[in-house]
Structure formats: C-alpha cells, structure tokens
Amino acid sequence: MKTFKIYQIDAFTKERFSGNPAGVVVNADGLNEAQMQQIARELNNSETAFLFSPEDNDSDGSIRYFTPTAEVPICGHATIAAMYAKAIEYNLNSCILKFKTKVGTLPFEIIKENGDYQVIMTQGKFELSPAFDTITTEQILAALGLDYADTDERCPVQIASTGHSKVMIGIKNKEKLNDLNPDYSSLIALSKQINCNGYFVFTFDSDNDDLLTHGRMFAPAIGINEDPVTGNANGPLGGYLIQHKIVDFKGNLFEFNGKQGEKINRPGVINVSVKIENDLPVLIKIKGNATVVFKTEIEI
C-alpha cells in the first residue's frame, strides 16, 4: 500500500467553486493506467493530472491526464492546476519546470509572488487544419443549434490544435452563445467523423475592454458535455486569430484575455500570448491563477 496525495484545484480563478476544477495526484509513482483511470473517474473532474518523478536528466518529471473515461494527451487547466499543486506541496520558488507529456517535453513556468503562485504553460506546436467543407460545417452548426447567419464571417469553421485539437466556431453575439443547447449525441457522432472531440464556440461580443472573447467548449465524446475554462481551446484560438489576421497586432507578440464558464456558473479568465514570426504564430503560452479547494490522501 502507498499513500497518494490528491489536490482538488480550481484553475483560471482565485475564487473557489469557479474556474475549471482539476484533480492532481502530486506523487503518482507506482500507479498503473487502470488505477489512474479509476481515480479520475472517482474525482469526476473533466481532467485529473498525475505527476511522476523524472526517469532521466532531460526533464523534471512526466505528467499524464485522464478524463473520467479516457486518457488525453494534454490539458491546459489541469497543467495549471498540477503546477500550482506542486508549488504548494513543495513550497517552490519561481522556476521553470520541464515535464514530459504525450505531445513532447514542455516548459511550465511557476511565478511566486506575495506567497502565492501563477503558472505559465507553453503549449505544443500550433497546427491549423483546412476549413471544413460546406456539408460538414452545416452538420457541426446544426448540432450546436446554430446556422450560418449566427457565425462571424471572418472565422472559418476548422480544427486548431496545440496538442489536443478543438473545432473553432466564431459567432456574432454573446446572447446566442449563452443560449446554446447542443445536441450532444450528434456532436459525439461528428467527433468520430472528423477525428476531433472538442467544439469551441467563441464571440468577440464583449462589454469589457480587458476581455477579447467569451467562449463555451463542448466535448461530449470524452465525457465532458461542457468544460468550464479550456486552455487547449483558448490557446489555439490565439494562433487561429493571428493566422487569419482577424485581430490587429504590433511587433512579434499578441496577448489577450478570454473568459469562459459563465453559463455554467464556473467563470474563469485565461491569458493567452502568441509569439509571431513572419505574421504567423510560432509559440503559444497560457497563464492562469489557481486556488486549492481541498487536499486529501488515498491508500492504494
């Protein structure tokens, strides 16, 4: 038997019971895949992160992510949560930790300030798939309860990814965003068809100068009908906005704040920064706050 330390962390917020909750096992050495899946199912967050000791000198450890039903390659909010929990557990100073993930070894920056922490996650390589054909686009819109008249004409419906792909769907107004009531069965069927399990609907309709976008993300194919605040949606959105020249930027850096989770009463804000070379996105980072909801232990 071994005692495993588990944190419940709310990411992209400083208020408990808001933002995006994630479980974190900070000392996961010895757990097998079936046990990790059981813990993730029991905690029933959209993702639970498991931190392992390094196997060599090339990293500070490895990290794996599980939804209640499946392992996923990478997860933004669970990374923020995991690094925050690690910083709390080991009373870390400001540092950069390199962790092996299913999408490669990534640097995660921990910033200590006034006794608390913020976390910056460097995401994986930005990739943008071709826009969907008319029929597939209509199927996606219909499953979400949208039609072409609702969409922002600047925003092609297509898959963007920094390691865990999402379909980008830009629409005109926030009221329509908050009224969405997707057909989850249709989205699950479409996910198999297009080989992408997440649908990120966003709008620039914001009455707050500090917030560029409001969004909602649906991923019923991996057991997440709606995710509160999604790093692997807002991050790729930054690259998508630059590549399509939808936003104005100066120099080689574009930064914005996106809000998500309002409709399901778990609001949170995520900061996205995009490094730009030759008018194209080359590096995407997300930054967020976090807070501990509870800490517990389990013997297995």
Sequential DSSP letters for 44-55: T-SEEEEEE--S
Q: What beta strand segments (E) does the chain contain?
A: 3-11, 20-25, 47-52, 61-66, 71-72, 95-101, 104-113, 116-122, 127-128, 158-161, 166-171, 199-203, 213-219, 224-227, 253-260, 268-277, 280-288, 290-299
CA–CA dist 299, 280 (Å, integer): 49
Radius of gyration over alpha carbons of the chain, in Å? 18
CB half-sphere exposure, 139, CA atoms < 13 A: 16
Q: Are residues 23 and 52 in the same domain?
A: yes
Q: What is the pTM of this model?
A: 0.95
Q: Are residues 276 and 215 in the same domain?
A: yes
Copy the structure tokens of residue 148. 């072409």
Q: Are residues 161 and 48 in the same domain?
A: no
Q: Transcribe 190-229 into DSSP letters.
A: HHHHHT---EEEEE---S-TT--EEEEEEEGGGTEEEESS
Q: What is the pLDDT of residue 272?
A: 98
Find where tokens 């039903």 sit: 69
CA–CA dist 236, 56 (Å, integer): 30
* Helix, coil or strand: residue 298: strand
Residue 297, phi-psi category: left (phi > 0), alpha (psi -120 to 50), beta (remainder): beta
Q: What is the pLDDT of residue 151?
A: 98
Confidence class for position 220, pLDDT limits 50, 70, 90: very high
> Where do the H-state alpha helices sit in 46-119?
76-90
Q: Are residues 206 and 262 in the same domain?
A: yes
Active-site option among 15, 33, 42, 47: 47
Q: What is the pLDDT of residue 147?
A: 95
Query: 141: closest CA among 95, 195, 190?
Result: 190
CB atoms within 10 A of CB 179: 10
Instruction: Examine the residue annotation and report whether 113 is marked as an active-site residue of this protein.
Output: no
CA–CA dist 156, 89 (Å, integer): 43
Q: Are residues 50 and 174 in the same domain?
A: no
Q: What is the pLDDT of residue 202?
A: 99
Q: Are residues 141 and 65 in the same domain?
A: no
Q: Are residues 267 and 149 in the same domain?
A: yes
Confidence class for position 16, pLDDT limits 50, 70, 90: very high
User: Residue 216 belongs to a domain with what CATH number?
Assistant: 3.10.310.10
Q: Are residues 23 and 158 in the same domain?
A: no
Confidence class for position 240, pLDDT limits 50, 70, 90: very high
Q: Are residues 82 and 161 in the same domain?
A: no
How many structural domains are present in the chain? 2
* Helix, coil or strand: residue 89: helix
Q: Give the domain extent around 30.
A: 3-121+289-299
Q: Are residues 114 and 131 in the same domain?
A: no
Beta bridge partners of 158: 168
Q: Are residues 60 and 202 in the same domain?
A: no
Query: Percent of the chain having pLDDT more than 70?
Result: 100
Return mean pLDDT, the chain: 97
pLDDT tens-digit profile of 147-205?
A: 999 999 999 999 999 999 999 999 999 999 999 999 999 999 999 999 999 999 999 99
Confidence class for position 281, pLDDT limits 50, 70, 90: very high
Sequence-distant (6+) residues with CB within 8 A of 51 are: 24, 25, 26, 27, 28, 61, 62, 63, 82, 86, 99
